């Protein structure tokens, strides 16, 4: 029970990495608020997470939504000990294909969303809180055709450093996790054929030194470590969980 009596917010907790992390945090004794936009999945997510979770609707890009979520968490739980700012989006963006809409779609959810999530919940964060920002292995090196996602995640990595300084006086730790290629529904939301998705998954697996894609649980365990007091001396860092993809 490494998170006994802790209260956690996980944005984008209705799918993939966020949902796996919510399950693990609850198993470790936390009560968790998860957020997402698509209400169609809320009943299933509530059933999967059980009575120690609440599922809240909100777009991380909307300060109004995020303030309402912060108020709901305060009313329901009284405060927060852990935030996993996880909601995000990745999409191929060769420079020539970038238009203003695509630019906003990627930069807003990944950067603006993190900024306004943290701004909204800041008053509820207790002394000693742990905040984890979700970045990506694509920002560790140059990669072909994914420049905007990489740039957005590099910005988020930088926020973890700056906010660590800004909130030292409140003993709030900020760290980041950089997932590698992880099997989640994300890529299936790109509107490509099943065959295309299968081929890309095979390509990803072949390009990773360990030879396979990661599981959402691989990131959940990293988040658990950064959320727990076992990592209390770790501040402003980025934990890379990518099967060696950016390091070997």
Residues that bind ligand NAP (CB under 6 A): 11-12, 14-18, 35-38, 59-61, 86-90, 109, 113, 134, 136, 179, 181-182, 184-186, 189
Cβ proximity to ligand NAP, 4 vs 101, nearer residue: 101
Nearest approach, Cβ of 123 to ligand NAP (angstroms)?
Answer: 20
Nearest approach, Cβ of 130 to ligand NAP (angstroms)?
Answer: 18
Nearest approach, Cβ of 162 to ligand NAP (angstroms)?
Answer: 19
Radius of gyration from C-alpha coordinates of the chain: 17
- Closest residue to ligand NAP in the complex (CB): 88
Cβ proximity to ligand NAP, 30 vs 148, nearer residue: 148
Sorted by sequence, the CB contacts under 8 Å of residue 76 that are 6+ apart come out as: 33, 54
Cβ proximity to ligand NAP, 78 vs 246, nearer residue: 246
Query: How many CB atoms neighbour CB 230 within 10 A?
Result: 11
Nearest approach, Cβ of 233 to ligand NAP (angstroms)?
Answer: 25
Cβ proximity to ligand NAP, 15 vs 93, nearer residue: 15
Cβ proximity to ligand NAP, 32 vs 171, nearer residue: 32
**CA–CA separation, 233 and 134 (whole Å):** 19
Nearest approach, Cβ of 171 to ligand NAP (angstroms)?
Answer: 26
């Amino acid at each position: 029970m490494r998170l006994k009596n802790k209260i956690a917010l996980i944005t984008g907790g209705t799918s993939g990495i966020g949902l796996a992390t919510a399950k693990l945090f609850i198993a470790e004794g936390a009560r968790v608020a998860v957020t997402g936009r698509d209400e169609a999945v809320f009943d299933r997510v509530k059933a999967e997470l059980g009575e120690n979770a609440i599922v809240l609707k909100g777009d991380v890009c909307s300060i109004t939504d995020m303030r309402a979520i912060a108020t709901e968490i305060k009313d329901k739980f009284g405060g927060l000990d852990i935030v996993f700012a996880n909601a995000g989006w990745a999409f191929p963006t060769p420079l020539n294909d970038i238009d203003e809409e695509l630019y906003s779609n990627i930069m807003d959810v990944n950067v603006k969303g993190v900024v306004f999530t943290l701004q909204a919940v800041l008053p509820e964060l207790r002394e000693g809180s742990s905040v984890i920002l979700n970045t990506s292995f694509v920002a560790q090196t140059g990669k072909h055709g994914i420049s905007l996602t990489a740039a957005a995640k590099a910005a988020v990595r930088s926020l973890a450093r700056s906010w660590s300084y800004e909130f030292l006086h409140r003993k709030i730790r900020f760290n980041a996790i950089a997932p590698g290629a992880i099997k989640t529904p994300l890529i299936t939301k790109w509107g490509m054929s099943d065959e295309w998705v299968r081929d890309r998954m095979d390509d990803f697996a072949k390009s990773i030194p360990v030879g396979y894609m990661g599981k959402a649980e691989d990131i959940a365990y990293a988040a658990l470590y950064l959320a727990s007091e076992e990592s209390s001396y770790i501040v402003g860092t980025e934990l890379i969980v990518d099967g060696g993809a950016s390091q070997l």
